[in-house]
Amino acid sequence: MEPSDLKCKPPPDGVGADFIAALSAEALASAAVNHPYLHAIRDGDFPDVEQALRDFAFEYGCYSHRFTRYVSAVIENLDSEVHRDILRANLAEEQGNAHDADLPPAVLATVSGQPHTVLYRRFQEALGIDASYRQRRRPSPISLSWQQQFTRLCETNACVGVGAIGIGTELIVSPIYEQILTGLKRHSRLTDTERVFFDLHSECDDQHASDLLMIAESLAHDAEACEQIAYGARAAIAMRVSFWDAMLEQSRQPSHAVVDRACNNETEYTVS
């Protein structure tokens, strides 16, 4: 689904904090957070749990490995140097420059100085996604579409980008990752170090969300700005829901059908 295909509802009365609070509540109540696919990960409700977790790790990586590029695109469109500095600090954390999460010292030692893309790759490799696996598989069209559409969304303008990366992403990531983390603890043999990407984001993204909500409130000074922020948030949420829908459908298919379909997808893909 292209962002241009989405029809935004009119923003609620009021601007600033009241508007952002209402839009945030809408995001947290959305299907992006409360989806049967997330419940299935949490509960291990798949015909083949190991295969489903591996498919998730592979496909989600298509979107997540470009996260710093999404943030950088939003920074480029911000006029306020204060706002830019806030997101630069978040970007530095994504690149491994600071971690204040409440994790065991031995686990934190494996996180210090490591970009989050490396931590996610560690998670993938622990599930068997190695070089050979990557040669056999290609991401599905829905994964590539999400990555490409979300990039364009973040590049649109400051209001749309902050709505997308803030309310449509950082605000809802913590409750999403909590469900995924519960599933990984219950239904996989991953160690704390192997799944630390999700432990880390379940904690640190709350601060990222708070920072972005503050920026969104300051941008939401008139009806047009509110409409653009809402558009960015709702478009980002719709993209994530479409991805969850596709992953749930894929998880119900026989494993050989999933592999065959992936191998027949000729789209090139490289993880940076």
Euclidean distance between CA atoms 105 and 85, whole angstroms: 29
Instruction: Give residue 129's region: left, alpha or beta (phi > 0; psi -120 to 50).
Output: beta
Q: What is the pLDDT of residues 54-72, one digit of tens each?
A: 999 999 999 999 999 999 9
Q: What is the pLDDT of residues 163-214, one digit of tens each?
A: 999 999 999 999 999 999 999 999 999 999 999 999 888 766 677 888 999 9
Q: Which residues have C-beta within 8 Å of that of residue 188, sequence separation ≥ 6?
A: 49, 50, 53, 127, 195
Q: What is the pLDDT of residues 216-241, one digit of tens each?
A: 999 999 999 999 999 999 999 999 99
Phi, psi at 266, each rounded to 5°: -95, 5
- Kindly report the length of the chain: 272
Q: Which residues have C-beta within 8 Å of that of residue 172, sequence separation ≥ 6?
A: 27, 28, 30, 32, 33, 237, 240
Domain 34-262: CATH architecture, name and number where available:
Up-down Bundle (1.20)
Q: Does residue 82 register a pLDDT over 50?
A: yes
Q: Does residue 42 register a pLDDT over 50?
A: yes
